[in-house]
Amino acid sequence: MAAPLLALQNIHLTFGGTKLLEGAELIVSPGERVALVGRNGSGKSTLLRIAAGQIEQDAGDRFLEPSATVRYLPQEPDLSAFETTLAYVEAGLAPGDDAYRARYLLEALGLTGEEAPATLSGGEARRAALARVLAPSPDVLLLDEPTNHLDLPIIEWLEGELASMRSAMVLISHDRRFLADLTGATVWLDRGMTRRIEKGFAAFEAWRDDVLEEEERNRHKLDRQIVREEHWLRYGVTARRKRNVGRLERLAGLRQDKREARRSVGSANLEATHARASGALVFEAEGVSKAFGERTVIADFSTRVMRGERVGIVGANGAGKTTLIKLLTGELTPDSGGVRHGANLQLAVLDQGRARLNPQTPLKDALTGGGSDTVVINGAPRHVVGYMKDFLFTPEQANTPIGKLSGGERARVALARVLALPSNVLILDEPTNDLDLETLDLLEEMAADYPGTVLVVSHDRDFLDRVATSVIVAEGEGRWIEYAGGYADMVAQRGAGVSARPQAVKPAKAEKSPAATPAPQQARRKLSFKDKHALETLPGEIERLAAQIAALNAALADPSLYARDPDAFARKSTALAEAEAQRQQAEDRWLELELLREEVEG
């Protein structure tokens, strides 16, 4: 094995009396790509800053090969000391580095180099910072959330650029697809300690679950051993106690081990508050167009969203994803075309900027609205501290101002607020930003189990694959097309990701006549995988319910049943009403899907 370029060994660090790192290690060899993963607040960014030499550990050793060059990408880059983005990027070059590469990277990332740092958005500042650390082609790249605030075309470009580099890398990211594609080793930072597996992130989650299960088994064995030793202490022969001082000391040691064991932090509990079901049709757009000045954002777009669907919306920054959602929900009026809403819609909206969170508001007031200690979830009141614990907050944080929380904690607050609102339509704008992997898993499960409809704007390809039943993609020039399935299904059908337009769907720029529109519409109007499955299985379900109804009617036809067993008569009557309602719902759904299938095939 090659000698390491960078090594952290037995790193200890305490912040404010809390032990953050307790013997953590990180070793990076030439060309190695390492995923650094762990819960929000576990110390990943701190460990990366120690590796970059930006902060000093309390104890432990940091080794950097003397000739090795290191570049570090922070989560919040500071460009304030520079007049332009080009000056900022060029300041990161060392003598002998290729100055042309700075301009190339800025252009590839959508910047000119002439931008004033004070005018940059969060995404633009992130892109300039990426150009600065990539331009020197360093021996070691330390990247903290490199995909934050980036859209899918830039993420896919960045993934290709990093894959082509010879640099060793340590990557912190909430984007699982990004980590799985790039890494060959994984370091898990958990309760101040690190564990390492010589496999990429794709193998991490199964390995982590095995480790936690083994820990639980060992903890159970320790508990049983303590019980045995305590039983001996109480009931053992008194005359032998002096000869068993060692055993008493061992019992004290076991108790100390139990007290000092730092158990894995519990998981968040994400549960949405459900409103009464909406109508079968949620949104229907027909020939919708919207322009701002000379720029057409949406041109002649049509779609139908049914109850229970989970629709992903993807595209480059500025393509009009938020505009499309606002048109569907009625917040914006289209220039032409129309949008029809189904019955009884109740929306809950998670906005990307978490703009509804006042940084001065205490955490408990942000969840309750102030003036109360309770939150109503699915009609039942809950104390706010209990609800906070569902989202991994401690009781001591109840009065902490929102502005003092970390990015991941603010993301959990925003989720907690939205999920407390009664809804049957969830609008999620970049919901995965700043969430740790465990909370992402639970968010996916919640979205998949949500009984209503979900519209989600996201650059997280893995999240879209796990959640979406269809994906609407910005094709450019105001054209949007809907594809069945998740992101990978869209790529398979389209022939490319959102970073490039496939040859098959390129329009001729000179032709914008109505005759040019049917092809995109035909590509859009496809049954989702869920719809196709329902079409296949609903007839069997209807037959099963019909047989159940016939059996219940036959039982209730017995004139002596009520006199013989009134409770059984009541149960069968209730079951009959429920079965008839379920059959009616299944028949309505099948008819609805059959009409849609005929429309698509026609």
For CA atoms 590, 593, 599, 602, give the dihedral sign: negative
Cα(151)–Cα(431) distance, integer angstroms: 14
- Report CA-CA distances (Å) from 524 to 302, 347, 518, 600: 9, 25, 10, 9
Q: What is the CATH topology of the domain spanning 271-346+422-525?
A: Rossmann fold (3.40.50)
Which segments of 468-565 does DSSP mark as H helices, in order? 487-494, 518-524, 529-556, 561-564
Dihedral pair phi/psi, residue 338, rounded to 5°: -150, 160
Instruction: Outline where DSSP puts E strands in 247-335.
Output: 281-292, 295-306, 310-314
Paired tokens of 294: 């000379």
What's the number of CA atoms in the CB half-sphere (13 Å) around residue 584?
Answer: 6
- Do residues 314 and 468 make contact, with C-beta atoms less than 8 angstroms apart? no
Paired tokens of 400: 């902490």
Q: Which of 331, 282, 288, 317 is nearest to 470 (CA)?
A: 282
- Do residues 175 and 147 make contact, with C-beta atoms less than 8 angstroms apart? yes
Dihedral pair phi/psi, residue 34, rounded to 5°: -115, 130
3-state secondary structure of 558: coil
- Do residues 472 and 324 make contact, with C-beta atoms less than 8 angstroms apart? yes
- Do residues 167 and 5 make contact, with C-beta atoms less than 8 angstroms apart? no
Q: Which of 253, 261, 191 is nearest to 220 (CA)?
A: 261
- Do residues 179 and 200 make contact, with C-beta atoms less than 8 angstroms apart? yes
Could you tell me the residue ranges of all domains in the chain? 6-206, 207-260, 271-346+422-525, 356-421, 529-601
Which segments of 267-406 does DSSP mark as H helices, in order? 321-329, 363-368, 384-390
Segment-wise mean pLDDT, segments of 10 residues, the chain, 602 residues: 87 84 94 91 90 94 94 91 94 90 92 91 88 95 91 90 94 92 94 93 88 75 65 54 55 56 57 81 94 91 93 88 91 93 90 69 86 82 86 83 78 84 89 78 82 91 90 91 90 74 36 36 50 79 87 82 79 82 80 73 64
Burial class (CB in 10 A: 0-12, 13-18, 19+), 70: buried
Q: How many other β-carbons are positioned within 10 Å of the β-carbon of residue 24?
A: 27
- Give residue 602's pLDDT: 60
The CATH architecture one would assign to domain 529-601 is Orthogonal Bundle (1.10)
| Angle, CA 76 vertex, CA 70 and CA 80 arms, to 5° | 95
- Give residue 239's pLDDT: 42
- Give residue 151's pLDDT: 85
For CA atoms 398, 400, 405, 411, give the dihedral sign: positive
Which residues neighbour 178 within 8 Å (Cβ) at sequence distance 6 or greater?
Answer: 147, 155, 159, 171
Q: How many other β-carbons are positioned within 10 Å of the β-carbon of residue 74?
A: 17
- Give residue 231's pLDDT: 60
- Give residue 521's pLDDT: 36
Angle separating helix axes 437-449 and 407-420, nearest 10 degrees = 20
- Give residue 1's pLDDT: 56
Instruction: Outline where DSSP puts E strands in 4-77.
Output: 6-15, 18-28, 33-37, 59-64, 70-73
Cα(393)–Cα(390) distance, integer angstroms: 7
Which residues neighbour 182 within 8 Å (Cβ) at sequence distance 6 or greater?
Answer: 33, 35, 159, 162, 163, 169, 171, 200
Maximal CA-CA distance, the chain: 103
For CA atoms 368, 369, 371, 376, give the dihedral sign: negative
- Give residue 48's pLDDT: 95
Dihedral pair phi/psi, residue 218, rounded to 5°: -65, -35
Query: For the chain, give me the number of helices (H) and strands (E)?
Result: 19, 20
- Do residues 517 and 575 make contact, with C-beta atoms less than 8 angstroms apart? no
Residue 51: left (phi > 0), alpha (psi -120 to 50), or beta? alpha
Side chain identity at residue 556, one-letter code:
L
Domains 6-206 and 529-601 share a fold: no
Q: What is the CATH topology of the domain spanning 6-206?
A: Rossmann fold (3.40.50)
> 543 pairs with which residues across the strands?
none
The DSSP output letter for 94 is P
What's the number of CA atoms in the CB half-sphere (13 Å) around residue 228?
Answer: 9
